[in-house]
Structure formats: structure tokens, C-alpha cells
Amino acid sequence: MCGRFVLFGNDDDMQDLFELDQLLGLTVPSYNIAPTQPIRVIMEHYADRLVRVMTDATWGLVPSWAKPGFRPMINARAETVTEKPSFRGPVRHHRCLVPANGYYEWQGKQPWFLSADEGDPLMAFAGICDSWTCAILTRSAPDALGTIHDRTPLIVPKELWGAWLDPHLDRPDEVRSLIGAVPEPHLLPRRVGREVGSVKNNDPSLISPLERA
């Protein structure tokens, strides 16, 4: 599961890294992004040509056909995303990338911050959108992370960003093959303070590692 994450990269860095044609979102970078808040998403669509855009969507997918009172879904399991009624349309036609510097996970009452361990400050979660709402795909966590939580976001490597965003890639078997091509993440986990448990707290100290006793 992914229920909180972090994005503090500046717009110029993200525009260069993700090769954006347009940047429309107004979301302020945050050290404690929570469900129902606006998040940055990257999508491709056709105008006169294929355009890659970063804009905002509400975190918590609500299908366009949902009735009032439908509970937003913040995550979608990668293993079944092409089958579930709420997800199979968006994963074929409205895939997105969700830029992040890392995410939080809880082991009991102890929060951990997990980020890339190879010096790259930004990663891209696989996401799906419907009517400007979004869910983040998750997968089984590798053994190194499984002691913290049994699920982790599906993190798309740079070499697959184009394929993930490609609006032509829309057959269920193609989508399943693409998901299967995403390698296991290599993440650096570190214990952080419990202050992250309150969405009212939002500053760089939240990702500072705790000193070991």
C-alpha cells in the first residue's frame, strides 16, 4: 500500500527530467501528501501532435460512472488492474506517471521513509486516472522491503516512461506485459519520526532519519 508520499522537486527539474511539453499544475511540493489531496500527474495526449503534460489530479480514483458516495480508491493492485471494473478502462486509456521523491510506510506504529538508493532524487509511480482523479498502482514488495510492508508502489524506470504513457498501447495483454517488464524497486528505507502521521505536519524534517538508540 502507498498512503503517503513526498514530492519536493522543483518544476524546472521535473520539466527537464520528464521532457514535458506543458506544465499546468499549481500544486505546491509537499513532504506529506495524503489521499484526497491534489497530486502531480504526467500524461500524454494528442493535440496536433503527441503532447506530454504535467497537471494535477485528486488522489483517490472515482470512476466516471460511480454513484454518489463512492469511496475513492488510492491504490490499484498491478496484478489485477486489467480485470477490475473500476480500473480496466483507465489502465488501458488513461495511464499516468506520479512523480515522487519517496513514500512513507508504517511497520506497526513506526513510520519509514523509502526513497531511491542510487542517487536519483526523483522516481515515477505508475498511476491511472479517471475524471481527474488518480490511483497509484502497487505490487508485492521484494524481500528486502517485505518486513516493512507487503506492498510497494509500482515504480516505472525511465526507460519505460514512454511506453507507460503511450496512448496507442491499450490492449489488455500489452498492458499486462508492460507491467511485467517493470523491475523490482531498489529502495533505501530509513526510520523517521511519528510526526508524519498527522497531515498537519509538512516540512523537510519529516524525512530526516532517526538516530539509532
Query: For all residues of the chain together, what is the average pLDDT?
Result: 92
pTM of the entire predicted model: 0.94
Q: Is the pLDDT at 76 greater than 60, yes or no?
A: yes
* Statement: residue 213 has pLDDT above 60: no
Asked whether residue 180 is domain-assigned, the answer is yes
Give the count of beta carbons closer than 10 Å to the beta carbon of residue 121. 13
Check whether 143 has a pLDDT greater than 70: no
Does the structure show a pLDDT above 70 at 47?
Answer: yes
Residue 151 falls inside a structural domain: yes
Distance CA 76, CA 84 (A): 9
pLDDT of residue 185: 87
pLDDT at 41 over 80: yes
112 belongs to a structural domain? yes
When mean pLDDT is compared across 63-72, 141-150, 182-191, the lowest value belongs to 141-150
pLDDT at res. 46: 85
Is position 206 within any domain? no
Question: Which domain range does residue 22 map to?
Answer: 4-198
Q: Which of 96, 105, 129, 134 is catalytic?
A: 105
Asked if 2 is an active-site residue, the reply is yes
Confidence category of residue 186, pLDDT binned at 50, 70, 90: confident
Domain count, the chain: 1
Going by pLDDT thresholds of 50, 70 and 90, the confidence category of residue 21 is very high
CATH code, domain with 100? 3.90.1680.10
Q: With respect to residue 213, please indicate whether it lies within any of the assigned structural domains.
A: no
Q: Domain for residue 203, yes or no?
A: no
Q: What is the mean pLDDT of residues 43-72?
A: 94
Average pLDDT of the residues in 197-204: 96
10 pLDDT tier (thresholds 50, 70, 90): confident
Q: How many CB atoms lie within 10 A of CB 102?
A: 23
The confidence band for 144, taking pLDDT boundaries of 50, 70 and 90, is low
Please, which pLDDT band fits residue 1 given cuts at 50, 70 and 90? low
Cα-Cα end-to-end distance for the chain: 28
Check residue 18 and give its pLDDT: 96
Residue 27 maps to a domain: yes
Share of the chain above pLDDT 70, in %: 95
Q: Is 105 a catalytic residue?
A: yes
SS (H, E, C) the chain: CCCEEEECCCHHHHHHHCCCCEECCCCCCEEEECCCCEEEEEEEEECCCEEEEEEEEEECECCCCCCCCCCCECEEECCCCCCCCCCHHHHHHCEEEEEECEEEEEECCEEEEEEECCCCCCEEEEEEEECCEEEEEEEECCHHHHCCCCEEECECCHHHHHHHHCCCCCCHHHHHHHHHHCCCCCEEEEECCHHHHCCCCCCHHHHCCCCCC
Evaluate whether residue 209 is within a structural domain: no
